[in-house]
Amino acid sequence: MKKIIVLVLAILTFACENASKKEVILTADAEGIAENSKVFLSKLGENNQQVHLDTTEVVNETFSFDLSEQDEQELNIVRIDGAPGNFIFVKEDMPMHLKVDYLNVRNSSIEAGKHNSLLLEYFNILKNLNEEMQDVQKSMNNAMRTGDQAQVAELRSIQRNIEKESVDKRKLIVEENPSSIVSLMILSDLINQKKVNNKEAKDYFENFSNEVKDLQLGRNLQEQIAKVGATDIGAVAPDFSGPTPEGNKLNLKDAMGKVTLIDFWASWCKPCRIENPNIVDVYQDYKDKGLSIVQVSLDKQNQKKSWTNAIEADNLGDWHHVSNLMFWKDPIAVKYGVRSIPKAYLIDENGVIIGKDLRGNQLREKVSEYLD
């Protein structure tokens, strides 16, 4: 009797499992593709590696793949022998129909559900960004050839605005679609391109549905976010306080502006002294717009006079200075992992690190990006 019960349970379990598997067939119109051309189906696996799933052939300008065994929202790639490009799509639990563009498979179109519509929207945003940036770059190249620096500056500002608008559109997709793998893809790209800080990334990820978090891409992204170091771009800069030349105590939070440069230097550091005039120039141009500077000196205990003399000689007196006069053992330097100088961090008004070791015109451009 027990054996019969076990057998019945096994049959019921098998029946339930099969009932939950919804048949999903991808059909395709392949007009213009040669007869018997091989068609390859892959999925995107760990570390964005393609994993081969199936192979079929074009017959009477059509082909199909059975996607029933795949998980919902699996990322798939179709490639056709002899045809340029490939096509990326999301597996959805519904009939899916692909219309192949034989001139470039990447430009094919698919009839499916919301995830593939979002994927197309995302790809179009990237395509438009690339086209607009190329157009502006052509004008910038012409302005550079003629030496029109005012036009170059204006065009750089236009590029920043174009990129910001594109990033905002992508962020909006992430915010409004927490249950789509496309949002995972976008967030991953924004993190890699340093377009979101670590705090933003964590907030976006926490808003995702459990199903999306549990996708392979979701698990990878969670690990990536967790690995961001204390002083990496996107992390919140470690707070600190230190003695000023006058003997007072200065806290970083009390010295912050809309953008703040934390600069590690010393009176004995020649490269630091060479860079100081550039910092002065940038500060003079942006102090009224919200730029603040905190310089942390790694001078030694018996070098306070050298420190204050260097501040005066290099015209650094308009901003904040701190030092424990402990050389490489300065607790602020230790907290930031400073092992060589000059070493600098640029942070926004929330204390998020937005740049590291920016020298010369790089510093000016990054400050301009946030304050102009």
pLDDT tens-digit readout, 78-118: 999 999 999 999 999 999 999 999 999 999 999 999 999 99
CB 239 within 8 A of CB 253: yes
Domain coordinates of the chain in residue numbers?
18-106, 115-226, 241-371
Classify domain 18-106 by CATH architecture.
Sandwich (2.60)
CA distance 152 to 161: 14
Q: Which residues have C-beta within 8 Å of that of residue 172, sequence separation ≥ 6?
A: none
CA distance 366 to 154: 15
The CATH number that domain 241-371 falls under is 3.40.30.10
Q: What is the pLDDT of residue 20?
A: 52
Could you report the per-residue pLDDT of 178-233, keeping only the tens digit for each? 999 999 999 999 988 888 888 889 999 999 999 999 998 999 899 888 887 888 88
Closest to 363 in 3D by CA, of 311, 295, 291, 294: 291
Could you report the per-residue pLDDT of 285-307, keeping only the tens digit for each? 999 999 999 999 999 999 999 99
> Coil, strand or helix: which one is 238?
coil
CA distance 117 to 182: 10
Q: What is the pLDDT of residue 110?
A: 97
CA distance 299 to 168: 44
